[in-house]
Chains A and B, each alone.
Chain A
């Protein structure tokens, strides 16, 4: 009949059978074994089991070609490593050490900067600050959003006339355009609009 103590000791018996228990853990197991015949019997069965396992699983000798087969596989592995481009130890940053790559990346980046800058310069109507609405041909351009910093950006659907593209206004905080050199082109357009408005005598756009 097993008790709670037997259940606890039973967990440790496999390790105890192989003398693997720490002395502090083995001590209570030994004390219990002195008084419990059921656990003594279980310990004997475990020792017999270990013996059976050793007998049932005899050692085998690898085949005569085992070592030579492995030598061939290892040699192939070494050859494959030598043929691979040497990036060992460089890991993630290994690409930086390729001589042709850095100038190529630099030139590509430079071209990209020039192209983007040119596109910004040639497309003032895409200004994130101002959208020029020419709803009808010849009408004075309307300034939108420059005086309304809190207005959410909106698609300039009305401005989709011939040759015009509609687009979203990017949200910008109220900005002093003079201090924003990247928007100086847009500021120039605003000046033009102001001039046009004053010439036409119309009120400032709301």
Chain B
């Protein structure tokens, strides 16, 4: 399955030249079309980010919607101090962290997208397609992914946030620090500890 191309936040560049900051400024001034543009551009990415956090699609969509609604409600107080995506993901991260604090999401791992559920009859093809993985490869991939997600879910929330924002969403350490309202050196430490945990628990997969 080819990975869906998501609009990812830029990792470089100053915020004052960020076109999304200008769009958000127009939202502040009452431009609804600008807000629609921002939503269209980043909604999918935020849904995916929330999904990687909570592992539940419906809840991830609700959290993503709530993030945009919060930004809309606060539009008149908006002051550009960082890139727009940093601001957006800061809101989304706080919502996801609150969600994890409120509910125990460990163990609620849904069947991954693109992989047939073991309970369903999917995966049966009339014609063999050599580009698709075999059933054994499918199962192995499913198990590996489930195992990785399990290790991720056991990370402390801030380590998981820092890891996802940096290594999956592509934010710089500086932007991750803004999202998590901490310092860059703290982010470096969070990511170091998270990667050490992953390496220890997934050693047989990475050696």
A60 touching B47 in the complex, CB below 8 Å, given contacts A45-B207, A49-B195, A50-B167: yes
Could you tell me if B43 and A57 are in contact, using CB atoms closer than 8 angstroms?
no
Could you tell me if B39 and A49 are in contact, using CB atoms closer than 8 angstroms?
no
Q: Please, what's the 1-or-0 string for B190-207, where 1 marks a CB less than 8 Å from any CB in chain A? A: 011001001100100111
- Chain B interface size band reads 35 or more
Number of interface residues of A (CB under 8 A): 34
A66 touching B3 in the complex, CB below 8 Å, given contacts A58-B113, A74-B72: no
Could you tell me if A70 and B39 are in contact, using CB atoms closer than 8 angstroms?
yes
Cβ of B51: which chain A residues have Cβ within 8 Å of it?
60
Smallest distance from the beta carbon of A11 to chain B beta carbons, Å? 5
C-alpha gap A120/B148 in the complex (Å) = 80
A77 touching B4 in the complex, CB below 8 Å, given contacts A18-B167, A60-B113: no
Cβ of B44: which chain A residues have Cβ within 8 Å of it?
59, 61-62
- B90 contacts A by Cβ under 8 Å: no
Could you tell me if A57 and B4 are in contact, using CB atoms closer than 8 angstroms?
no
C-alpha gap A73/B73 in the complex (Å) = 12
Interface residues, chain A, with chain B CB atoms under 8 Å away = 10-12, 14-15, 18, 20, 42, 45-46, 48-50, 52-63, 66-67, 69-70, 73-74, 77, 88-89
* Ranked 9 nearest A-B pairs via Cβ: A56-B148, A59-B4, A56-B145, A48-B206, A45-B206, A60-B113, A70-B65, A62-B47, A14-B195
